[in-house]
Amino acid sequence: MPGILAHVAIESGHMSEPQRILIIKPSALGDIVHTLPILHLIRERWPEAHIAWLVNPSFAGLIQGNPELNEVISFDRKRYGRGWRNPIALWRLLQFLWMLRGKRFDLAIDLQGLFRSGFLTRITGAKRRIGFANAREGAPLFYTERVVVGDVEQHALERYLTLADSLGCGREPVRFVLPRAPLDADAVPLVREPYAVLLPGTNWATKRWPIEYFANLVEPLRERFGLRTIVAGAPDVIPLANQIQSGQQIGNLAGKTTLPQLVTLLERASVIVANDSGPMHIASALGRPLVTIFGPTNPVRTGPFGRMETVVRLDIVCSPCYSRTCSHTSCMKWLTPENVMREVENAISRLR
């Protein structure tokens, strides 16, 4: 892509075809969604290789059973805690590292880019260890190959594609392989009629569109489009969903779906309204009608990949600020439900 400069420093003797490949991308949900196309490209490049993915168990459901993956390695850093202060946790960590070393990977790819993930590449003993040259916390010290990406305002997935390209995997196709699972019996009646899904959760308070604004979408979604409203998300969304539900007839599935069930729910939705969040990236990957709400973050970097037409945001001087705290959150509060409903209408009309 224009404006992107990529360079790879490769040590001699490390270019043999890999037989055992490890992808290190433990979190978070949206980043794991963005890594799925890289898995596909690696599988196309090395169809006979054994490919493993190291992931936090909270997100393993998104890749378990993926036909392009041979192995999922669960890594829950909370289980190991501060190992040097807790002998039991230290013993668990040493056992895990010994197990990882015993897998005998010959190519380790760090897409997390932190000290911990870089260290894990080194522990594998892989002769080829690749990551980004600008990875944080000294992680590049553990790599044998460092990919330099020159465009700061580049989408996260584009960065990953640049790394895949440096491995000889190319950049296309961008394909998302997502798991599906049947909804639980008590959720089935909710999806028998056309519905919209609201995704009010997000990992920063400043990225959260006011919950009363989400609640104000329920009635117009029913009146204008004949859509039932379903609120979904992780368990931490339950209090938000309860606020939306107060005094209104909605389907409340917050904290009640696995990741594969969430994929199924989003895939059938007539339209989805979401904050900048992991579930939003699932909805985007599914190609569903979507409205994504942005304020403190830049959709060029973390927005729905290839779907900028779904973004609604205010062009104000302080946005994007990338701040997790704010005294006024004007970028969110000034974005009214009427603004968002106009984008909902546009999203639905694009499907027709």
Q: pLDDT for 267-289, tens place per residue?
A: 999 999 999 999 999 999 999 99
Instruction: State how far the Cα of 261 lies from the Cα of 185, in Å rounded to an integer.
Output: 12
Tokens of 332: 């969110």
pLDDT at 236: 96
pLDDT at 20: 99
pLDDT score of 10 more than 60: no
pLDDT score of 4 more than 60: no
Q: What separation in angstroms does the CA of 124 have from each of 103, 192, 240?
A: 7, 49, 42
pTM of the model: 0.93
pLDDT tens string 51-97? 999 999 999 999 999 999 999 999 998 887 665 678 888 889 999 99
At 16, the pLDDT band (50, 70, 90 cuts) reads: confident
pLDDT score of 256 more than 60: yes
pLDDT score of 260 more than 70: yes
Q: Which residue has the higher pLDDT, 96 or 7?
A: 96
The CATH architecture that domain 6-166 belongs to is 3-Layer(aba) Sandwich (3.40)
At 15, the pLDDT band (50, 70, 90 cuts) reads: low
- Contacts by 122-131 with C-beta closer than 8 Å and gap 24+? 123/97, 124/22, 124/100, 125/101, 126/22, 127/13, 127/14, 128/14, 128/18, 130/8, 130/163, 130/166, 130/167, 131/163
pLDDT at 352: 66
% of the chain beyond a pLDDT of 90: 88
pLDDT at 80: 79
pLDDT tens string 94-128? 999 999 999 999 999 999 999 999 999 999 999 99
Contact between residue 69 and residue 86 where contact means Cβ atoms under 8 Å apart? no
pLDDT score of 349 more than 50: yes
Closest listed residue to residue 4, CA positions, set 132, 147, 150: 150
pLDDT at 77: 84
Residue 13: what are its φ and ψ, rounded to 5°? 85, 5
pLDDT at 82: 63
Can you tell me the mean pLDDT for 221-244?
A: 98
Strand bridging mode 6-10 / 145-149: antiparallel
Q: Is 188-351 in the same CATH topology as 6-166?
A: yes
Closest listed residue to residue 78, CA positions, set 67, 99, 66, 92: 92
At 2, the pLDDT band (50, 70, 90 cuts) reads: very low
Residues found in the chain: 352
At 5, the pLDDT band (50, 70, 90 cuts) reads: very low
pLDDT at 351: 74
What is the domain partition of the chain in residue ranges? 6-166, 188-351
* Residue owning tokens 């056992």: 95
- Contacts by 51-56 with C-beta closer than 8 Å and gap 24+? 51/21, 51/22, 51/23, 52/20, 52/21, 52/22, 52/23, 52/103, 52/105, 53/22, 53/23, 53/25, 54/22, 54/23, 54/24, 54/25, 54/26, 54/100, 54/120, 55/25, 55/26, 55/27, 56/26, 56/27
Closest listed residue to residue 145, CA positions, set 290, 14, 243, 300: 14
Tokens of 211: 């919950």
pLDDT tens string 35-53? 999 999 999 999 999 999 9
Contact between residue 303 and residue 292 where contact means Cβ atoms under 8 Å apart? yes
pLDDT score of 344 more than 90: yes
Instruction: State how far the Cα of 277 lies from the Cα of 236, in Å rounded to an integer.
Output: 13
pLDDT tens string 159-207? 999 999 999 999 999 999 999 999 999 999 999 999 999 999 999 999 9
Instruction: Specify the CATH superfamily of domain 188-351.
Output: Glycogen Phosphorylase B; (3.40.50.2000)
Average pLDDT value for the chain: 93
* Residue owning tokens 């973390």: 302
Q: 154 — alpha (psi -120 to 50), left (phi > 0) or beta?
A: beta
